[in-house]
Amino acid sequence: MIKEIIMKNVKGTTTNQQLTGKDIIIGPNGVGKSTRIQVLGAALLGYVPGHGKAPGETFKHSSDQDVMTVGLSVNDFTFERNFERNVTRNKTTGKEDIKYSEKVSLSPSKGERTNTQKKSRIEQEVGSFPVMLDFNEFLGLSDSKRRDFIYGLSSAGSTWTKEKLDRHLNDSLLSMEIEVNNPDYYETLTESINEAINNFPNNYDFSDGLTAVIDWVDGQLSYYKKQKDDSEGAVRAFAEMKNKLNDTDRGLKQNKEELTQLRNKLMAVKEQYARDFEKKKAFDRKNERITELQQSIESLKNNQIEGTEQIEKQITELNQQVKEVPESKSASYEAKATELENQKQQNMNEAWTAKGKTQELAAKKASIEQTLNTINENKGVCVIQAQIACNKDFSKYLEHAQAKVDSLAASIKEFIEIGNEKIKLAENLGKLVKEWRQKAQQDNNNFREVVNHNQQITNKISLLKEQLNLIQKKKEQQASKLQDLNSELEKLQNESNEPIAPLDILERQQEALAKQIEELETKVTEQEKAKNQLATLKQSMLNYKKAEMKVNAFNSIKKELGAKGVQGLIVKEQLDPIKKDIEENLRAMGVEHEVFFQTTSDTGQEVFQFGWVNTGEQRNFDSLSTGQQIIFLIGFMITILERANPPLKVLAIDNIENLDPKNFYNVVKGLDQLSHKVDNIILAGVLSPISFDGWKVWQLEQTNEAGEMHESAS
């Protein structure tokens, strides 16, 4: 049961409307009675019944620019739907973009996170059954849609099954008359019924399964209608072509055989022509080659190669210019120079040794002389410290040292003389080395001059010999080529020529045969075309007949499944219990009229009308007064709610002021008796203050200029 309707910013109303299960909301126009009914619908369905279903359409009922909230508190479950208006501005263009959204909140939660999960939870808790809130939507449906709605309500209790449907189609559509008079159609109809039943899913209830079968039949019907139309056009087209054909397939076999013979004959002529053509080409090439050979032989004979006498004379003269190569003495001259060079180096080494010895003796002599000078300069004092007196006698040492100095001077002089002598000897030897090497160079130059002269002569002779060889080679090649040409010419002249048929005659034979073949091919093509078109025509007629039978079969099945068949039977099967339930509900409200349902018109057309019988006359619902429609509507809606059996059954009726006092009293008393069939009954209308036992009356009033509502309960 709904305990509270939650509304914020809905048509200027922000409040929580408490409910007791049997509630009457009264008050003047504009105080929010219909608003509460609309909020109830929006909370249950997500949109206001009778208006658009998009969040933007629902937000039109908001009195706030940003958000509107509707919700319900049902036993231990509460949920709210927040409809929000979001405005964003494009930074580039500055244009506003307005989007509307719906956000759902609920308590207590079972772990739902997304809006979709939360909406699914709401449907599980309270259901989603729009007709209970917007009966005008039901009234606006076509007759077939009303029938489908009642069919949907009643199918759950139907006795129909897949097997019963199979038996019904076979019993209704397959007759012995069809089997005897039209066995092909009987077979097609049987096949189509089986196919239709096979498209009834085993895990579907009967309502969904029947819908699946009808949808499949509609698809097959469209498919075979198209096939029939396509085949029908093809039959007409090929029939016209057949009338225009100049020939049929008569004599086609003989013409094909003749055509094969002509093609073979043409192939033989072409092969002979190709062979003789190649022979003619070979004969022409042979004659051309003989002419070429004769010309080449004549040209070779006329081409005289130069003689060799002048070249041989030049070679003889050059041989006479060759000089005798003298014996070379440069090696012995060079050896003598080397020997003298070694002696020179030996004397230089000895001169350097004498010089070194002279320097060594000079150093010793200078050291002794320095000592003598020191003794002579420091007589009577210490030679180490001049301030110390010393009377030591060095005369013997001075005599010895002076003798040593004189001896060293003599040795130095001797070594200087030896060094000078060795240097002079080395210089003389150097001059001799130079002289001997000049002799070696001169001898070598003389030898090289003769060798180079002879080499130049030899090179010239070699060139002349190469010319001799080349001339000789040319003569040999000319002789060899002349021999080869004569041999080839003799061979060609001795060859026999194969016989060659006249090519012009063979060409005329080919042209004649090709023309015969072309004419016969045209004839055979036309005959083949006629044969194929006749076969296609026959197949098209078979396809057309099959498609036509399929269309007729599926039309019969569709008709038998529809309102004049199975669906109609199911609805009629259930209408009597529905009729009795409505009549029971009407009697509770003091109305004793019999209820009627009409499913076919007087002309046999499919309709779905209802109403009650008054003084023996059927009064259609549309012809009842507003008050009578409300009473019928209450009885009808309670029946629908019972049969639809949503988790939450709510009967909400607006504009009950259209009932006169007597009928209003009877309705309230009747609803009191029927209240056990629903969870909530809500009546709303412009009524004066009233009071009924067991009912909560909510009186709404507008109390200030700001539009705030005030409600009081009694």
Q: 645, 667, 689 — which closes off a domain?
A: 645
Domain annotation covers residue 284: no
247 contacts 528 by C-beta, under 8 angstroms: no
185 contacts 553 by C-beta, under 8 angstroms: yes
Helix/strand/coil percentages in the chain, nearest 5: 65, 15, 20
Same structural domain, 693 and 606: no
Strand partners, 363: none
Same structural domain, 321 and 402: yes
Pairing label, strands 22-26, 680-685 = parallel
* pLDDT at position 64: 92
CA pair distance 399, 404, nearest whole angstrom: 9
If you write DSSP's letter for every residue of 226-282 in order, what string do you get? HHHHHHHHHHHHHHHHHHH-S--STTHHHHHHHHHHHHHHHHHHHHHHHHHHHHHHH
Structural domain boundaries enclosing 406 = 311-474
Residue keyed to tokens 């629903």: 678
Domain annotation covers residue 488: no
CA pair distance 484, 481, nearest whole angstrom: 5
* Cα dist from 542 to 178, 228, 232, 536, 539, whole Å: 19, 11, 11, 10, 5
CA pair distance 677, 634, nearest whole angstrom: 12
* pLDDT at position 706: 42
Long-range contacts of 358-364 (CB under 8 A, 24+ apart): 358/412, 358/415, 358/416, 358/419, 361/408, 361/411, 361/412, 361/415, 362/408, 362/412, 364/408
* pLDDT at position 393: 66
pTM of the model: 0.50
Same structural domain, 550 and 569: no
Q: How many CB atoms lie within 10 A of CB 93?
A: 8
Same structural domain, 39 and 147: no
Angle at 373 between CA 367 and CA 377, to 5 degrees: 150
**Cα atoms in the Cβ-side hemisphere of radius 13 Å centred on 231:** 21
CA pair distance 384, 390, nearest whole angstrom: 10
**Cα atoms in the Cβ-side hemisphere of radius 13 Å centred on 383:** 12
Q: List per-block mean pLDDT (blocks of 10 residues) for the chain, which spans 714 residues.
A: 95 94 93 92 87 90 94 94 92 88 94 93 80 57 70 59 91 90 91 92 86 92 85 64 53 81 84 79 83 85 78 85 76 83 87 86 85 76 62 74 83 85 86 85 81 86 87 84 85 77 80 85 78 67 81 89 80 81 90 87 75 90 85 88 86 88 89 91 91 92 53 53
Q: 523, 555, 587 — which closes off a domain?
A: 555
Residue keyed to tokens 């003749």: 258
Start-end of H helices in 112-182 = 115-126, 135-139, 143-154, 162-173, 176-181
Which H or E run contains 8?
A: strand 2-10
Same structural domain, 363 and 383: yes
The tokens for 282 are: 């070979």
- Provide φ and ψ at 693, rounded to 5°: -65, 135
Sheet with 13-18, edge to edge strand ranges: 13-18, 2-10, 67-74, 77-89, 96-107
The tokens for 34 are: 């219909």
Domain annotation covers residue 481: no
The C-alpha R_g of the chain, in whole angstroms, comes to 70
Domain annotation covers residue 524: no
Domain annotation covers residue 67: yes
Angle at 292 between CA 286 and CA 295, to 5 degrees: 145
Q: 474, 493, 510 — which closes off a domain?
A: 474
The tokens for 53 are: 């279903």
Domain annotation covers residue 289: no
CA pair distance 481, 450, nearest whole angstrom: 46
Pairing label, strands 696-702, 680-685 = unpaired
Q: Is 262 exposed, middle or buried (0-12, 13-18, 19+ CB in 10 A)?
A: middle
Q: How many CB atoms lie within 10 A of CB 196?
A: 24
CA pair distance 261, 397, nearest whole angstrom: 157
Same structural domain, 50 and 105: yes
Q: Is 379 exposed, middle or buried (0-12, 13-18, 19+ CB in 10 A)?
A: exposed
* Cα dist from 470 to 76, 115, 456, 465, whole Å: 127, 109, 21, 9
Domain annotation covers residue 32: yes
- Provide φ and ψ at 55, rounded to 5°: -55, -35
3-state secondary structure of 655: coil
Instruction: List all residues 6 or more positions away from 337 whose beta carbon is below 8 Å from its beta carbon.
Output: 432, 433, 436, 437, 440
* pLDDT at position 152: 60
CA pair distance 245, 248, nearest whole angstrom: 7
Same structural domain, 372 and 447: yes
CATH code assigned at 691: 3.40.50.300
Same structural domain, 542 and 575: no
3-state secondary structure of 696: strand
Same structural domain, 331 and 470: yes
- Provide φ and ψ at 430, rounded to 5°: -60, -40
Long-range contacts of 458-466 (CB under 8 A, 24+ apart): 458/322, 460/314, 460/318, 461/315, 461/318, 461/319, 464/311, 464/314, 464/315, 464/318, 465/315
3-state secondary structure of 494: helix
With left for phi above 0 and alpha for psi between -120 and 50, is residue 286 left, alpha or beta? Answer: alpha
Going by C-alpha positions, the residue among 224, 250, 233 that lies closest to residue 536 is: 233
Instruction: List all residues 6 or more positions away from 61 whose beta carbon is below 8 Å from its beta carbon.
Output: 10, 11, 35, 38, 42, 48, 51, 68
CA pair distance 134, 678, nearest whole angstrom: 17
- Provide φ and ψ at 139, rounded to 5°: -65, -30
71 contacts 79 by C-beta, under 8 angstroms: yes
H/E/C letters for each residue in 413-479?
HHHHHHHHHHHHHHHHHHHHHHHHHHHHHHHHHHHHHHHHHHHHHHHHHHHHHHHHHHHHHHHHHHH
Q: What is the number of domains present in the chain? A: 4
Domain annotation covers residue 457: yes
Same structural domain, 4 and 48: yes
Going by C-alpha positions, the residue among 645, 708, 654, 662 that lies closest to residue 682 is: 654
Instruction: List all residues 6 or more positions away from 201 whose beta carbon is below 8 Å from its beta carbon.
Output: 208, 209, 212
The tokens for 508 are: 């005329």
292 contacts 488 by C-beta, under 8 angstroms: no
Same structural domain, 549 and 567: no
Same structural domain, 377 and 448: yes
